Amino acid sequence: MILITRPKGQSKKLKLKLTTRGFKIFQESFYSFKYYKKKVSYKKTNYYIFPSIHAVNSLKKNKQITKFKDAKIFVIGEQVNKALVASGCKNIISIFHDGKTLLKTLQSYPKKDDKFIYFCSNIVNEDFFIKANKQKINIKKIRVYKTIAIKSFTKKLNDSFALNNITGITFYSKLAVDTFLALASKDKILKKAKKLPVYCISYRVAKPLIHKQFKSVYVAKQPNESDLIRSINRN
């Protein structure tokens, strides 16, 4: 069975595509989300960055998303783009695969005149903001939701590892990797997991696994689901 570590709502397509290819799936989310109750302001001259579906969902839940129907928006991920378009946002400037490609584009904007508002969780890629600040990009974080990592694996997952039923693992985020490594060490699963093929959406996600000497770490050619599935099919 392939272990999918992504939340169920975000992995329906992956699960369907893998099952149609004959793979058996074990689903276990390694984190959950809490949307903050807060109002956010809109300024016509600002640019707004939505890096995740949960940033969109938080603003929708708080009835704030309509403020941004004409906002200048940058998006990470096609799923996020679709959610914004469905919510009435009409001015999506660019869609990016990851923060790295987004940062390259932000560098081309005038430093003094442009301000970027980044809707995020309590957990962010701090390297992104360190690099942005070094390049004097005027960017501000606004936390609109909280990401909560699980504190233990379910008994069902522990049993599946014990019975050698897990034959591969997918990772979409560094948080999922960090959570897995911490809990796998505690539950004595790590030794078995290191022998399994693991499939990662990007090198940033894969890096801690490589450092922990996992034997077979496969990284999607581009950080998207289609390329991740291709890496699973090939290996």
pLDDT tens digits along 81-118: 999 999 999 999 999 989 989 999 998 886 667 899 99
Whole-number pLDDT of residue 8: 83
Distances (CA, A) of 131 to 49, 55, 113, 137, 205: 16, 22, 19, 9, 18
**The pTM is what?**
0.87
* pLDDT single digits (tens) 20-44: 999 999 999 999 999 999 899 999 9
Secondary structure E strands in 20-115 = 25-27, 31-35, 47-50, 72-76, 92-96
How far is Cα 39 from Cα 148, in angstroms, rounded to an integer? 22
- Are 206 and 217 in contact by the 8 Å Cβ rule? The answer is yes
- What is the rounded average pLDDT for all residues in the chain? 93
pLDDT of residue 111: 67
pLDDT of 205 higher than 70: yes
Q: Which domains are seen in the chain, by residue range?
A: 2-30+150-234 (3.40.50.10090), 33-148 (3.40.50.10090)
**Burial (CB count <10 Å: 0-12, 13-18, 19+), residue 80:** buried
Contacts of 92 (CB under 8 A, 6+ apart): 73, 74, 75, 81, 84, 85
